[in-house]
Structure 1
């Protein structure tokens, strides 16, 4: 069992790893690098990978390798095969070295580095996110609150109380239910006396989730679907803890615990995800059925 002092040290090492990897990523935005497609989900965003992803991953593993050996930790990282150590070890590192590779290749905001330490039960104990283009680092230890760039972080009062902000993946626009979904969301917004509904499309999963924190009424969600995809464990591991530490809703699409260590798959398509900045909105979303 890891003690509080262990978690604090592991968090510090993850912060250092994320920042060094993020600095490398940002230095490559306008440079030439190799790109390729990989097997994975159903969207372009889940299939693109670059040599920058692998270089960032190598930097992170360089930092974490000593503590993996010291504490006998498992490992799950996006750009390597799942060795299923996550199902055997008490804790495992869960790494997305470059979440939002597609916006990175398009030289626009939406990418981040995400590192989390997860228990075998599927619950995050440490979560770190670094946003390279904004030089922002969010970190959390379970039960210890949120730190941003070395300072305690709490939600700021938003000035957009009359608006609803919806963060979705680009692929959802092509879904057969999208227009019906928009109508239902508009209906709910009107019932809450919200004048405007804004859709934000094109970020990676990590930036989508964190962007919800900027608004009083906002959400990021993905519905369950039969096809493999829907993001993977590493897309949601760190941000789940950040939302929990802020006492904000983060669940699967049914409103239940967002489990982060299924023995069957690393994909999340069977669960779906919901992040919201208020509980009423999260409760409303769980009644939607577009799977």
Structure 2
């Protein structure tokens, strides 16, 4: 087991790594770089990868390498093959060096750096997210709450209580259930006397989850699908812990714990995800027949 002092040290390493990687990312938004496509990806957002993804990953690993060796930590990172160390070590680093590569290449908001330390049981024990374009660093240690740029972070009092916000992936618009989903949302929001519904599409998974925190009433939803994809472990590891530390609901679409270490795959297409600002909203989403 890693004690609180060790977790605090490792969290600081992750914070430093995320900031340095994020600064690199932001410095290259308007500069030329090489792009390529990932094999086996099913959407444009999951296909695109750049040399910046790999350079950011190198920077992060440079910060984390000493801790990996000292504490025998496994490693799972988006831009490298799964070496299965996550299944044999007590903890593993789970890294997305540039989540939201598509919005990054399109020079618009939606990208982030995400680093988490996850137990073999699939539960995050520390999580760090850096938003390069806003210079915001969220960090959390299990049982210790959430910090923003080093200061204790708590939910504010958003002024949009009459609006319901829904965050989702662009690919969801072409799903067979999309019309039924939006009809259900429309019916529910009317019954709750919301003034309107706003749909937010085009961010990466990490930014989608954190954006939910900006509103009084909001959710981020990904439903299961038959083909591989639906995000991967690194898309949700850090934000799951941030939501849990804030006391907000986060689960798979069956309302169970969002498991982050399935042996067979790193994909999440069989689970789906639900992030919400209230249990009432989470319950509504979980009851949608898809």
For residues 212 and 219 of structure 1, the distance between their equivalents in structure 2, rounded to whole angstroms, comes to 6
The residue aligned with 1:273 is 273
Whether the aligned pair in 2 keeps the contact of 1:249 and 1:275 (CA below 8 Å) is yes
The residue aligned with 2:131 is 131
Whether the aligned pair in 2 keeps the contact of 1:206 and 1:235 (CA below 8 Å) is yes
Q: CA deviation at 1:175?
A: 1.2
Long gaps (5+) in structure 1: none
For residues 40 and 119 of structure 2, the distance between their equivalents in structure 1, rounded to whole angstroms, comes to 25
The residue aligned with 2:152 is 152
The residue aligned with 1:163 is 163
Q: CA deviation at 1:195?
A: 1.1
Q: Deviations over 1:101-129 (max 9, x none)?
A: 00000000000000000000000000000
Matches within 5 A, 1:197-216: 197-216=197-216
Q: CA deviation at 1:174?
A: 1.1
Matches within 5 A, 1:153-192: 153-192=153-192
The residue aligned with 1:36 is 36
Q: CA deviation at 1:190?
A: 0.8
TM-score (normalizing by structure 1): 0.99
* Secondary structure of residue in 2 paired with 1:285: helix
Q: CA deviation at 1:177?
A: 1.7
Cα 1:197/1:235, change in 2 over 3 Å: same
The residue aligned with 2:264 is 264
Q: Deviations over 1:13-55 (max 9, x none)?
A: 0000000000000000000000000024421101100000000
The residue aligned with 2:68 is 68
The residue aligned with 1:217 is 217
For residues 118 and 289 of structure 1, the distance between their equivalents in structure 2, rounded to whole angstroms, comes to 31
Structure 1 segments of 4+ aligned residues over 3 angstroms from their partners: none
Whether the aligned pair in 2 keeps the contact of 1:224 and 1:230 (CA below 8 Å) is yes
For residues 48 and 205 of structure 1, the distance between their equivalents in structure 2, rounded to whole angstroms, comes to 15
Whether the aligned pair in 2 keeps the contact of 1:41 and 1:230 (CA below 8 Å) is no
For residues 217 and 140 of structure 1, the distance between their equivalents in structure 2, rounded to whole angstroms, comes to 23
The residue aligned with 1:104 is 104
For residues 41 and 91 of structure 2, the distance between their equivalents in structure 1, rounded to whole angstroms, comes to 26
For residues 199 and 44 of structure 1, the distance between their equivalents in structure 2, rounded to whole angstroms, comes to 20
Q: Deviations over 1:134-177 (max 9, x none)?
A: 00000000000000001100000010110100000000111122
For residues 244 and 41 of structure 1, the distance between their equivalents in structure 2, rounded to whole angstroms, comes to 30
The residue aligned with 1:16 is 16
The residue aligned with 2:250 is 250
Q: CA deviation at 1:289?
A: 3.1
Give the count of matched residue pairs. 290
RMSD: 0.6
For residues 276 and 237 of structure 1, the distance between their equivalents in structure 2, rounded to whole angstroms, comes to 16
The residue aligned with 2:289 is 289
Q: CA deviation at 1:133?
A: 0.2
Q: Does 1:236 align with 2:251?
A: no
TM-score (normalizing by structure 2): 0.99
For residues 115 and 289 of structure 1, the distance between their equivalents in structure 2, rounded to whole angstroms, comes to 33
For residues 192 and 42 of structure 2, the distance between their equivalents in structure 1, rounded to whole angstroms, comes to 34
